[in-house]
Structure 1
Amino acid sequence: MTDQDAGDSESPLTFAQQVADAMYEKDVAAQHMGIKLSKVSPGYAVMTMTVTDKMLNGHAICHGGYIFALADTAFAFACNTANITTVTLNGNITFLSLAREGDMLTAVAEVQSQSGRTGLCDVVITNQEGTRIAMVRGNSYRVKSKIVADMPTADL
């Protein structure tokens, strides 16, 4: 994407941030779970979430659904930076380690491929010590609409 593609005064980074800000404002689920956007750039997003007592399962560890929700949120933010509404088509998670109450989880999502309406994105979730908690590989699907109506779209 050139600067002109994103508007006369917008860089690709600024463009991605504007799309992410618009998405986050409407993402009630992420806000409710305490998921925060740390960084975004074209095809890339970093999200964080602290494991609370309300996220624990019967084994006193973080329920896998919350870990997947964090990964899916980071996936969404990375895949939507081009201002083309993109949803998860498929996602596979592999749990590598336990997450416990108080852990600060970080999900790093990076688009690996985007071709036409489908794409591939990888997400790595770590804790505050850098231990890998889970890895997700997902396929995305672009629907033909924009996140922000008055902004152009761009390819990743």
Structure 2
Amino acid sequence: MTEQDASDGAGDGESPLSFARQVADAMYAKDVAAQNMGIKLSKISPGYAVMTMLVSDKMLNGHAICHGGYIFALADTAFAFACNTANITTVTLANNITFLAPAKEGDMLTAVAEVQNQAGRTGLCDVIISNQEGTKIAMVRGNSYRLKSKIVEGMPSVDL
């Protein structure tokens, strides 16, 4: 679901978009790793997140391209934000990444994550990472697992 699709209530008269934003803001405030890597949340809606990261010289490997671990961290972060918009603590069960092209210093990477399926406690989410020119850098398919807790206590949880 994209931002434009979010129009129904999410509990207590909130829109799903507003609900997802509150959960994401609470998560981001505690995500020291993402903050330290310069990962920023640019869009959020139920089951959907877009995050960006600028490739710095400190992220380069011995081939003078972005280390795959940073690209994976960006993808995993977008995955987490998309999967947690229902306010049910959701973690990565497994992820598979395929690198398609190198990212270079100065590239602005964008990760678009979208939950494809949620059935009970497990889900499936796809993430596409592209650079500022629209070149696909990597693709991730991941499985998620819901725990029995909330991101924001006092807020309800909703179905994606």
Aligned AA for 2:56?
T
Match of 2:44 among 40, 45, 50: 40
Tell me, in whole angstroms, the C-alpha distance in 2 between the residues paired with 1:154 and 1:67: 30
Residue identity opposite 1:66 in structure 2: Y
1:134 aligns with 2:134: no
Structure 1 residue aligned with 2:68: 64
Q: Give the counterpart letter for 1:20 in structure 2.
A: A
2: distance between equivalents of 1:136 and 1:74? 10
CA distance in 2, matches of 1:2, 1:41: 12
Match of 2:101 among 97, 101, 113: 97
What is residue 117 of structure 2 aligned with on the other side?
113
Residue of 29, 34, 42 corresponding to 1:25: 29
What secondary structure does 1:57 align onto? coil
d(CA) in 2 for partners of 1:68, 1:144: 26
Q: Which amino acid aligns with 2:11?
A: A
Compute the RMSD of aligned alpha carbons. Answer: 1.0
Deviation digits for residues 1-47 of structure 1, max 9, x if unmatched?
A: 952x4223x10000000000000000000000000000000000000
Identity of aligned residues (%): 81
CA distance in structure 2 between the partners assigned to 1:37 and 1:150 by the alignment = 23
Q: Deviations over 1:103-127 (max 9, x none)?
A: 0000000000000000000000000
* Aligned partner of 2:84 among 80, 90, 102: 80
**When the two structures are aligned, how many residues end up with a matched partner?**
154
Q: Give the Cα separation in 2 of the matches to 1:96 and 1:7.
A: 44
Q: TM-score, normalised by structure 2?
A: 0.95
User: Is 1:7 equivalent to 2:12 in the alignment?
Assistant: yes
Whole-angstrom CA distance in 2 between matches of 1:31 and 1:122:
22
- Separation in structure 2 between the aligned mates of residue 90 and residue 54 of structure 1, nearest angstrom: 27
How far apart, in 1, do the equivalents of 2:35 and 2:101 lie?
Answer: 25
SS of equivalent residue, structure 1 residue 47: strand
Unaligned runs of 5+ in 1: none
Normalised by the size of structure 1, how large is the TM-score? Answer: 0.97
Q: Give the gaps of 5 or more residues in structure 2.
A: 1-6
